[in-house]
Amino acid sequence: MRALVTGVAGFIGSHLACELIKRGDSVIGIDSFTDYYPRKIKEKNIESLREEKKFSFIQADILETDLSEILSRVDCCFHQAAQAGVRKSWGKEFEIYVKCNILATQRLLEEAIRSKLPRFVYASSSSVYGTVEVLPAREDTLLNPLSPYGTTKLCAENLVSLYQQNYGLSSISLRYFTVFGPRQRPDMAFHRFIKAGLKGEEIEIYGSGKQTRDFTFISDIVSANILAAESNLCGAFNIGGGYRITLLEAVREIEKAIGKPLKIEIGAEQKGDVQDTSADITKAKKELFWSPKYDLSAGLSLQVEWMKDNLL
C-alpha cells in the first residue's frame, strides 16, 4: 500500500513506518517536531527510515500544509500525530492539545474527503474511558474522560466517526492502552524507570503505586494498525496487552529486567491520571483477527536493551 503516517517521528509513528517499509509498502511521513520532547530523539527515531527509497519525509504542521495533494497519493492515512501526555494537559497547555488533537484531526478529515482517501486509521487512546465502573472496559462502555487530554482524544474520535457517517469515509479508531517498548516517549513511566535504574537514580511513583494499567507492546500496536488498514471495519477497537497489573508490580518486572532494585520515592497523585485501565480485547480478536503477541517481560527486555544503547 501507499501510506501516509502522521507523527512519523514519534514513538508509535516511527515503528509503524518502519514495519510498512519492511513489508514493501511506500510511506510518506509527516511530522512538525513539536517541542513536547527533544527533536534529537525524534530525529533518531527516523534516522534509518530516511535512508529508505520508499520513504519520503515532510516536515510540516498538519494545520498549515497542503494535505490534499499528499492525501491524493495514498491508500491509507495512519493518523498518529498528537500532543501526547495525560498529566500535562491542564491549564494553558490545553490550547496546544486542542490544536494538535482536535483541529488537526478535523483538517485531515476534511482533506481526506476532498481527496477521496480510501482508508483512515485513527490512533485513539484508553484515556477516552476515564473512570470505568466495570473492568475490563468494552468499546460500548460509557466514555467519560478524566483528563483534558482524554477529552481531546475523544473529541477527535467522535469527529472520525461523524465523517464516516456523514461522508462515508472508511475509518477506524484504535484505542491504545499505555504503549511501551523501544523508543517509548521520555515522559512515560517505563522510560523514566528504566533510565533511572540504569543510572542508579531514584524513580518517583505518583500516588500509591496501586494504580493498574493494561500495558501494550509497540509491535502489537503496529500489527493492529496494519490489520485495521487492510480491513473495512469501522468504529472503535480496544488495543491492549490483555493483562492488568499494578504499577508496583510493573516496577518489580523492571527490576528483574535490569537485574537490580530500583530506588523508589513516593510522589503526589497526578490530576487526570485514571486509577485503573484494562482493555476487553474480544472485539479486536474476533473482528480484526488481532491478538497481542508480547507479554510484559518479553517487551520489557527489548525496551531495556534499547535503553542501554540510547541513554540520552
Would you please indicate which residues are annotated as catalytic (active-site) residues? 149
Between residues 44 and 195, which has the closer beta carbon with respect to ligand UGA?
Answer: 195
Cα–Cα dist 267/210, whole Å: 13
Letters for 167-186 (x = contact with ligand UGA by CB under 6 A, - = none) are ---------xxx--------
- Entry field: residues in the chain: 312
Q: Which stretch binds ligand UGA (CB under 6 A): 46-54, 79-87, 137-145, 156-164?
A: 79-87
Is 155 a binding residue for ligand UGA by CB under 6 A? The answer is no
Task: Provide, rounded to whole angstroms, the least separation between the CB of residue 212 and ligand UGA.
Answer: 9
Between residues 99 and 192, which has the closer beta carbon with respect to ligand UGA?
Answer: 192
- Torsion on CA atoms 254, 293, 143, 187, rounded to nearest 10: 30
Instruction: Kindly identify the residues of this chain, within the stretch 192-221, that bind ligand UGA according to CB under 6 A.
Output: 192, 204-206, 211, 213
Between residues 55 and 177, which has the closer beta carbon with respect to ligand UGA?
Answer: 177
Indicate the residue type of 16.
L
Binding residues for ligand UGA, total number by CB under 6 A:
21
Cα–Cα dist 307/299, whole Å: 12
Task: Provide, rounded to whole angstroms, the least separation between the CB of residue 118 and ligand UGA.
Answer: 27
Letters for 110-149 (x = contact with ligand UGA by CB under 6 A, - = none) are ---------------xxx----------------------
The SS3 call for residue 80 is coil
**Among 178, 80, 190, 181, residue whose Cα is nearest residue 126:** 178
Between residues 60 and 188, which has the closer beta carbon with respect to ligand UGA?
Answer: 188
The phi and psi torsions of 31 (rounded to 5 degrees) equal -160, 145
Cα–Cα dist 81/224, whole Å: 17
Cα–Cα dist 30/27, whole Å: 10
Cα–Cα dist 151/147, whole Å: 6
Residues that bind ligand UGA (CB under 6 A): 84-86, 125-127, 176-178, 188-190, 192, 204-206, 211, 213, 247, 270, 273
